[in-house]
Homo-oligomer: A and B are copies of this chain.
């Protein structure tokens, strides 16, 4: 059961988390596809630990969830989270990031294709 509204303090925590362009882009991207860490590393041209640390923050807040698939760990949005309605409505205001997925596919670097 999800709440209609969310406490101000907790909401501020979520917004602070999303107030980083890398994490915000990740969330928008996860709206349409799942991704593994190594794909994000390619997409954001950022070190693997940096990506891993961003994802951990999202995971600790319950915004994303992980599933291991062999040697890869696939991340997806956790739509059951209490804050998902807030997050969802905010993501609607952002432009699709699917062009990044396309770039990845053109480079032959897409891994977690379903």
Evaluate whether A95 and B19 lie within 8 angstroms (CB atoms) in the complex, with A24-B12, A89-B89, A90-B90 already known. Answer: no
Per DSSP, chain A at the interface is: helix
Chain A: number of interface residues, binned into ranges: 20 to 34
A107 within 8 A of B: no
- Copies assembled: 2
Q: Please name all residues of chain B whose beta carbon is closer than 8 Å to the beta carbon of A28 when the two chains form the complex.
A: 8
A28 to B, closest residue via Cβ: B8
A56 to B60, CA, bound (A): 31
A18 within 8 A of B: yes
A28 to B17, CA, bound (A): 19
Is A19 a contact of B12 with CB atoms below 8 Å? yes
